[in-house]
Every structure is written in structure tokens, then in C-alpha cells.
């Protein structure tokens, strides 16, 4: 089966496919995406940690057909401009902001999971992902309105979803930005930092749009996989009996199935990797999710083991200059979600069989979330 993150069949079978790709003498070439697919842990780690050789400024997604992103977002930029962008909003993702966001997130999680027997986990996790992004942004818009806009953006913006795109999304954004520019910040968050900590006066609306476009999906995917993994891999009872295992369970789930599993880079100088002589201008697709299961770096990589002692660190947050800026906040919210799930739902079963999972096909090809996860409380 060819490499195709825009195929439900491929997404269902990707870890078996990665096994084959890792053992080949040369890196797999994808005609469809015009990329070499990098699958081994050491190679993926090298790419992440050498941004001068593997540039992000030409885009970091499998499909890049918009100049809105190239060189103008955190993900699709290189230093020094990347650090300029990061420094504008870094404080919004700092630990001081986690407590405020966690209180809202915990409240919403309790509301969505309490007193229910049958739960659509896909809907719950997308809603929570949108709330997290809404609170990180913390715009002066009414919170319910802002959350609906974020959720709509995640589901229907043409640069995010290819299944039900809303071609008027950019007009809606323009309207929202015109309203935002006339309002003062309502508190700490990306919006406040963008206005008050933008010392170079950079016009980078993507710093505001980014959390709305990609945040809900990456959060929802991590929460979905955690919910599935605990049940499918028979680990739920262990965590129910000992909630001190929550951090380890979250970490292993992030390794086992990364919600944000794939990025691209553009080669800037001659280099040989996985048997291929790469030239400037070549594109590579780094597979974080494959690296996380490379048997050269992990013991029993295809087993979900809460008590791991491998030296390797999973790459689901990225690494180096482009490590996820929301790492600390996201990790705390995933732990909070699991705590609420255990307390409000307790023992549960997943009614959706693994082979029947339906993936939402995302435009960029890097985020994996599902639309039909049904849970029943036991």
C-alpha cells in the first residue's frame, strides 16, 4: 500500500506499513506527495534537531498550497524569524497560565462526561480541544461565541478539513479580525501577547489563527487515542486502581499513537539519509509516529507498556527548535481529561471496533483524529 495519510485505509494500517518502510534499504519515495518518507527514530530525530539542513520555511505539511503559511507561522518558519514569532506569544503558553486554563478545561470535561452512559468520545474530545484553544487564545470575544468559531474552523476551514470545507471561512476570519482589532485584551493569552508583547510590530495573524486551526485537532487526537488505548490495550483497570499512573499512561499513549504524526521539511544541503542522497530542494516527510515504534530504539515497541524504562524519548511533541510550544499546557490538559474520565465514567468499553474507526481527513495530512468513537459506561 502506498504512503497516503489522506486515506482511511492507510491510516488504519499505517503502523504495519511503517514496519516495512523502516526495514527497506532506501527511504520510500512518494510520487503523490513528492517526498522521501523518513521513518527511523535516529533519522527523524536528526531532522528535527538540524533545522539548518532541514528547513521549515517552505512549509511543514504534506500539502502546502497557500502562501499564508510559508515563513509566516511558527511551524512553517526558520530562525531568526521563528524565534521572533515564538517570543511574541511564549508567555501565553507558560506555566503561569496553566492553572487558569486547567480550571476551565476541567469544568468543561466534567460537564461533557458526567451522568452519561453512552458517549460520543469524538464529539467530546473535539469540543474540549476547541475549548483549550479558545482559552489559550483568550480573545475578548464572548467565550461561547469564540469556542463555536474555533470548532467551526477546525471542522470546516478549507486549510484544515477536506471533507466538509466552508469556502466562506476566510471571510468569517476577516470579519472576526476586524472586530478583534477594536478591542482590548480580556486577560492573559495569545491575543494579549500579540498586542502587548509584539516589540518588533510584526504582522503575524497566523499566531492567532494557528491555535484555532490546528489546536483542536491535535488535542482531540491525543485524548481520543488515550481513551482507545487504555481499553484496546487492556490498561484501563491498572489506571483505575492507581491514578498515580496517569502521567505514565499519558506518556505511553503519546508514544504509542501520536495524534500529530507527520511533518515535512525541505533539504538545504547535500546529505545522505536512509540510503538516499538528498539534494537541496528535496522534501522529506518525517514520521514521528513511526519513529516512536522503531525497534532499534524501543523494547517491544508495538506493546502499550505503562512502566517503560527505554532511554529513548518519544517524539510526539517534536524536538529541537520546533518542539510544540503548547507542550506543558497540553500535557497537563491530557492528564486532567484522564482524571475526569476515570472519576466520571470509570470502567467503560469502546463500542467501535478498531477496523471500523473512521478518520477525519485533514488537509495538511499531519493530524489523525476519528469521528465515530462510541463509549459505553459499564
Give exposure, 56-77, as e/b (b: 16+ Cβ within 10 Å): bbbbbbbbbeeeebebbbbbbb
DSSP 238-252: HHHH-GGGHHHHHHH
Q: Are 192 and 94 in contact (CB under 8 A)?
A: no
Q: What angle do CA 234, 238, 241 make, to 5 degrees?
A: 140
Q: Which domain holds residue 259?
A: 8-377
For residue 63, the domain's CATH number is 1.10.630.10
Residues 6+ apart with CB under 8 A from 183: 139, 140, 141
Could you say which DSSP state residue 161 is in? B
Supply the pLDDT for residue 361.
85
Residue where the block lists cell 539542513? 53
* Per-residue model confidence (pLDDT) at position 158: 74
DSSP state of 374: E
With respect to residue 2, please indicate whether it lies within any of the assigned structural domains: no
Measure CA 311 to chain center: 24
Tally the C-alpha atoms within 13 A of residue 69's C-alpha that lie toward its C-beta. Answer: 18
pLDDT given for residue 317 in this prediction: 93
Residue 240 lies in a domain: yes
| Cell digits of residue 214 | 490546528
pLDDT at 65: 66
In a domain, 153, yes or no: yes
What is the Cα–Cα distance from 192 to 320, expressed in whole angstroms? Answer: 26
- Return the residue matching grid coordinates 483497570: 237
Measured from the Cβ of residue 115, the count of other Cβ atoms closer than 10 Å reads 7
pLDDT tens digits for range 151-206 = 888 887 777 777 777 777 767 766 776 777 667 777 889 888 988 888 888 877 77
The predicted model scores a pTM of 0.95
- Is residue 121 situated within a structural domain? yes
Q: Which helix (H) or strand (E) holds 334?
A: helix 327-344
CB atoms within 10 A of CB 184: 9
Angle at CA 192, nearest 5°, toward 188 and 196? 125
Q: Yes or no: say if 233 and 255 are a contact pair by the CB < 8 Å rule.
A: no
- Please give the pLDDT value at position 70: 83
| Residue partners of 180: CB distance under 8 A and separation at least 6 | 139, 140, 141, 191, 208
Write out residues in the chain with pLDDT < 50, as ranges.
Answer: none
Long-range CB contacts for residues 197-202, cutoff 8 Å, separation at least 24: 197/87, 197/88, 197/89, 197/91, 198/88, 200/84, 202/84, 202/85, 202/88
Cross-strand bridge partners of residue 283:
266
Check: CB of residue 294 under 8 Å from CB of residue 40: yes
d(C-alpha 338, C-alpha 352), whole Å: 19
In a domain, 1, yes or no: no
Looking at the 3D structure of the chain, how many domains does it have? 1
Amino acid at each position: 500500500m502506498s504512503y497516503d495519510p489522506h486515506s482511511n485505509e492507510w491510516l488504519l494500517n499505517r503502523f504495519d506499513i511503517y514496519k516495512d518502510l523502516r526495514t527497506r534499504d532506501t527511504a520510500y519515495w512518494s510520487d503523490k506527495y513528492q517526498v522521501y518518507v523518513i521513518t527511523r527514530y535516529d533519522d527523524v530525530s536528526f531532522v528535527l534537531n538540524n533545522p539548518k539542513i532541514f528547513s521549515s520555511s517552505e512549509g511543514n505539511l504534506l500539502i502546502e498550497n497557500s502562501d499564508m503559511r510559508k515563513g509566516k507561522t511558527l511551524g512553517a518558519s526558520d530562525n531568526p524569524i521563528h524565534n521572533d514569532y515564538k517570543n511574541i506569544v511564549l508567555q501565553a503558553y507558560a506555566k503561569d497560565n496553566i492553572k487558569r486554563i486547567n480550571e476551565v478545561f476541567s469544568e468543561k470535561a466534567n460537564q461533557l462526561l458526567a451522568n452519561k452512559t453512552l458517549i460520543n468520545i469524538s464529539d467530546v474530545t473535539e469540543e474540549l480541544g476547541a475549548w483549550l484553544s479558545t482559552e489559550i487564545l483568550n480573545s475578548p470575544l464572548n467565550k461561547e461565541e469564540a469556542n463555536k468559531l474555533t470548532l467551526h474552523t477546525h471542522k470546516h476551514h478549507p486549510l484544515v478539513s477536506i471533507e466538509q470545507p466552508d469556502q466562506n471561512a476566510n471571510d468569517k476570519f476577516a470579519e472576526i479580525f476586524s472586530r478583534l482589532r477594536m478591542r482590548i485584551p480580556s486577560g492573559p493569552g495569545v491575543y494579549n501577547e500579540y498586542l502587548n508583547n509584539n516589540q518588533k510590530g510584526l504582522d503575524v495573524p497566523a499566531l492567532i489563527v494557528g491555535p484555532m486551526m490546528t489546536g483542536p485537532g491535535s488535542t482531540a487526537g491525543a485524548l481520543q487515542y488515550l481513551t482507545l488505548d487504555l481499553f484496546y490495550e487492556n490498561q484501563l483497570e491498572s489506571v483505575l486502581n492507581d491514578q498515580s499512573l496517569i502521567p505514565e499512561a499519558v506518556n505511553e499513549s503519546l508514544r504509542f499513537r501520536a495524534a500529530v504524526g507527520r511533518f515535512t521539511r525541505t533539504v538545504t544541503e547535500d546529505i545522505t539519509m536512509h540510503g538516499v542522497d538528498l539534494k537541496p530542494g528535496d522534501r522529506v516527510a518525517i514520521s514521528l509516529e513511526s519513529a516512536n515504534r522503531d525497534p532499534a530504539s524501543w523494547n517491544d515497541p508495538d506493546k502499550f507498556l505503562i512502566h517503560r524504562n527505554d532511554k529513548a524519548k518519544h517524539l510526539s511533541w517534536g524536538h529541537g527548535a520546533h518542539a510544540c510550544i503548547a507542550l506543558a499546557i497540553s500535557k497537563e490538559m491530557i492528564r486532567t481529561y484522564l482524571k475526569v474520565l476515570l472519576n466520571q465514567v470509570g470502567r467503560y468499553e469502546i463500542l467501535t471496533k478498531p477496523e471500523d474507526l473512521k478518520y477525519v481527513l485533514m488537509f495538511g495530512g499531519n493530524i489523525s483524529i476519528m469521528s465515530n468513537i462510541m463509549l459505553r459506561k459499564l
